[in-house]
Amino acid sequence: MSEIRTVAVIIRGRVQGVGYRMWTRDEAERQGLAGHVRNRPDGSVEAVFSGPVDAVGRILEACRHGPPGARVSEVVVSDHGGAPPQAGFAIR
């Protein structure tokens, strides 16, 4: 059984209005991750990813680039202290 990692992520830059949330959902589902993604009032995007350590690593690397049209300036990752999200990945 592989180890599970849950992280909270803040992505800054030009990440709203470019399909970043939909792209994140699609990438997370492709990796088999649970969690959610949402826009924040300050123009950043916030996500929680939970799943196998290697899959979480892949999505974090992908978030540094994002979809076409995005310009990511910063990705801040912290271990998520709360309960892991239930199965599935949602846009909030």
Catalytically active residues, by annotation? 21, 39
**Residue among 38, 34, 26, 36 nearest 52 (CA):** 34
